[in-house]
Structure 1
Amino acid sequence: MNRIVLGAVGALALVALGLFWWQGRAEVEKGAPPPSSETLAADPMALPSADVSGMRGPTPPEASELTKEQQRFFRYDRNRDQRISRAEMLSTRTDGFRKLDKDGNNLLTFEEWAVTTVDRFEGADKDGDGELTQREFAATAPKPAPKKPACKC
């Protein structure tokens, strides 16, 4: 009985909230000034324009040139305190750990590791003889990341 009453009260509260929101939107739209008739008469699809000839915006920030080593350092230094903590260093490995942790308990057992390794071995062993040839082993190498364009123009 209490659930029915609470459900009805909740539904009424949501309806009342919707009505107040709807009336508020109507008041805002009613208070907006109408478009000028000369603008509509000339071209109803024209965009507004302004004279910006004397205005000047802020200058964009300068991009600093970082060496490859500095870029690699800042990839790990998440809080930019110029030091890499152990947690920051290990943070890049969490996705790989989560893929191995099948039951999601944040503990990697030997069985979880072994299943993943056996699956990888069996996927590479194309002829199914239980041994990897040089060609089969070469196929297990990680694929290089695709090259990203220099800019997204």
Structure 2
Amino acid sequence: MWRYGAGVLSALLLAGGGVILFRGTAQTEAPLPQPKAPPVGMAPLPPVPVTIPSAPERTREQKRFDRYDKDRDGSITRDEYLASRRKAYAKLDTNRDGQLSFDEWAVATTTKFAKADADQSIALNPAEFATTAIPRKPAARCACPAPRAEAED
């Protein structure tokens, strides 16, 4: 029986030692320094205005151009243009057999690139690239009725 008592006593001593050790190493928070009052005869300084830098507005077309321009050199090469078009090759199946041959895909994308490359420089500048955008439908507007005015009593 004395072994149980010794075990309980040693567990309590270990727990108490841990608490004492923890409290000894814990740091208390120092109070925040209070702002000093200005010297007598001087007006307090106005608070410094907080200015948040703003990012420049970029158009949808500029963002789209940047997605294609992988090397960020300001122009889209034929390889950069064709790499992004691989995802949409299923739309290019001209004979509608459910399979897209490389020739079908290459003809359609090379033709589109050639049409967009007006100056025949084998690279698209931002203005030329803008002609390759897919026309989008305008967002549907809510046809909600106008709120009616509350009748006054």
Q: Shared fold by TM > 0.5?
A: no
Task: Name the structure where helix makes up a greater proportion of residues.
Answer: 1
Name which structure has the greater RCO, CA cutoff 8 Å, separation 6+: 2
Give me the TM-score of the superposition, normalised by structure 1.
Answer: 0.31
| Greater Rg over alpha carbons, structure | 2
Give me the TM-score of the superposition, normalised by structure 2.
Answer: 0.31
